[in-house]
């Protein structure tokens, strides 16, 4: 057990629903163990600029149900430099901070890992990203809410698609990861899913449209956004060209996927890992992400959490193929 008396807490990278529930859990657990909490606004950028303030149990009242992050979030180019990290460290020392809880995704943990190798500052991380693309946790905070938002939206698209006999190409978030597209594709009864991991080419989709059932009145194709912006429009263009008789439309769901009230699953996940984060710092953990694997708290070094790309379950793609006949 370490004698840690004051910790810093921040959110970083893309916001995700459930970050507030995690903030609340960390602050309340720290209070439980008589540890002071300093809130750091705007991630690493705010750390460098000294945007810090004390948080007590009351400061996190009535936030468990709110989307976004009350601590704000940012992307910081300066923290990627040694000078930037030195400024950040100086601020932490100035405020008497002895350990950090970082809530974010793989970029946040890459920064934390580098920082932890340069300075004697224990950092633990909570997986806060809608992408679910971290190794060492079955689910990330925000993913469950995001996929529920997606299926709500796609159900609505399905109503209009069905009424007009249309084919909809629906683009969801996930630049490097198709996990949102994969699950929501199954849940919304999609014809096909196009994701970066499998490099599923458009020919497979064309084949499906060519040889699939012709009497369906609506069709949904789920596409992960991928590296190229407007990828769904390009797919839509090619489908229109090859199947001019389909009434093809493109819908980009965009930022609605990040917002909204966190689901029960996300609130509970955030609360569990939030409590574990403070206990981990007390127990001397550092440079680790805290997740839940098989319903148990799991510690994964930042290096592994980011490096090992989450495997796509090939059965999921097979399920789409079987169920869309
Ligand atoms: P999400 O997955 O939701 O996008 P993220 O944590 O991956 O979240 P990023 O923007 O990739 O979001 O990273 C957040 C911040 O982490 C960056 O703005 C930067 O300040 C810091 N960071 C990322 N990579 C590095 C690095 N190599 N060295 C130092 N800091 C880094």
Catalytic residue at 283? Answer: no
Please give the Cα distance from 59 to 45 (Å, whole number). Answer: 22
Digit-coded pLDDT (tens) for 84-134: 999 999 999 999 999 999 999 999 999 999 999 999 999 999 999 999 999
Ligand 1 pocket member 84 (CB < 6 A): no
What is the residue with the minimal CA distance to atom 30 of ligand 1?
111
Ligand 1 pocket member 116 (CB < 6 A): no
Ligand 1 atom nearest 77 alpha carbon: 20
- Ligand 1 pocket test, pick from 68, 111, 115 with the greatest ligand atom count within 8 Å of Cβ, gives 111
Domains and CATH numbers, the chain: 6-142+262-305 (3.40.50.450), 145-258 (3.40.50.460)
Q: Is 108 annotated as a binding residue?
A: yes
List the 166-172 sheet strands across, edge first.
192-194, 219-224, 166-172, 247-252
Per-residue pLDDT of the chain (325 residues; tens, 9 = 90+): 668 999 999 999 999 999 999 999 999 999 999 999 999 999 999 999 999 999 999 999 999 999 999 999 999 999 999 999 999 999 999 999 999 999 999 999 999 999 999 999 999 999 999 999 999 999 999 999 999 999 999 999 999 999 998 999 999 998 778 899 999 999 999 988 988 877 666 777 888 887 777 777 788 999 999 766 568 998 999 999 999 988 999 999 999 999 999 999 999 999 999 999 999 999 999 999 999 999 999 999 999 998 666 778 888 888 988 888 7
* Statement: the pTM of the whole predicted model exceeds 0.85: yes
Digit-coded pLDDT (tens) for 29-57: 999 999 999 999 999 999 999 999 999 99
Question: 296-301 and 36-40 as β-strands: parallel, antiparallel, unpaired?
Answer: unpaired
């Amino acid at each position: 057990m370490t004698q840690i008396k004051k910790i810093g807490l921040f959110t970083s990278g893309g916001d995700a629903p459930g970050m507030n529930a995690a903030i609340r859990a960390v602050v309340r657990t720290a209070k439980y163990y008589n540890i002071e909490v300093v809130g750091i606004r705007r991630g690493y950028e705010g750390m460098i600029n000294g945007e810090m303030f004390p948080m007590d149990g009351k400061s996190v009242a009535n936030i468990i149900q709110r989307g976004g992050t009350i601590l704000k979030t940012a992307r910081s180019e300066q923290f990627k430099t040694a000078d930037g990290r030195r400024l950040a460290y100086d601020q932490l020392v100035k405020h008497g901070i002895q350990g950090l809880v970082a809530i974010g995704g793989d970029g946040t943990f890459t920064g934390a890992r580098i920082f932890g190798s340069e300075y004697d500052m224990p950092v633990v991380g909570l997986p806060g990203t809608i992408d679910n693309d971290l190794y060492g946790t079955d689910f990330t905070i925000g993913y469950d809410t995001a996929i529920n938002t997606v299926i709500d939206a796609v159900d609505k698209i399905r109503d209009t698609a069905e009424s007009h006999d249309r084919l909809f190409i629906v683009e969801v978030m996930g630049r490097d990861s198709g996990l949102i597209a994969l699950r929501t594709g199954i849940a919304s009864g999609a014809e096909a899913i196009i994701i970066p991991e499998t490099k599923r080419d458009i020919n497979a989709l064309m084949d499906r449209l060519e040889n699939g059932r012709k009497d369906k009145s609506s069709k949904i194709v789920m596409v992960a956004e991928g590296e190229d912006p407007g990828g769904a429009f390009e797919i839509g263009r090619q489908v229109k060209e090859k199947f001019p008789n389909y009434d093809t439309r493109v819908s980009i769901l965009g930022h609605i996927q990040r917002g909204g009230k966190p689901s029960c699953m996300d609130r509970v996940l955030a609360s569990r890992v939030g409590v574990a984060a403070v206990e981990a710092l007390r127990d001397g953990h550092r440079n680790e992400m805290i997740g839940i694997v098989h319903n148990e708290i799991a510690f994964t070094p930042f290096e592994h959490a980011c490096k090992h790309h989450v495997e796509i379950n090939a059965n999921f793609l097979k399920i789409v193929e079987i169920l869309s006949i």
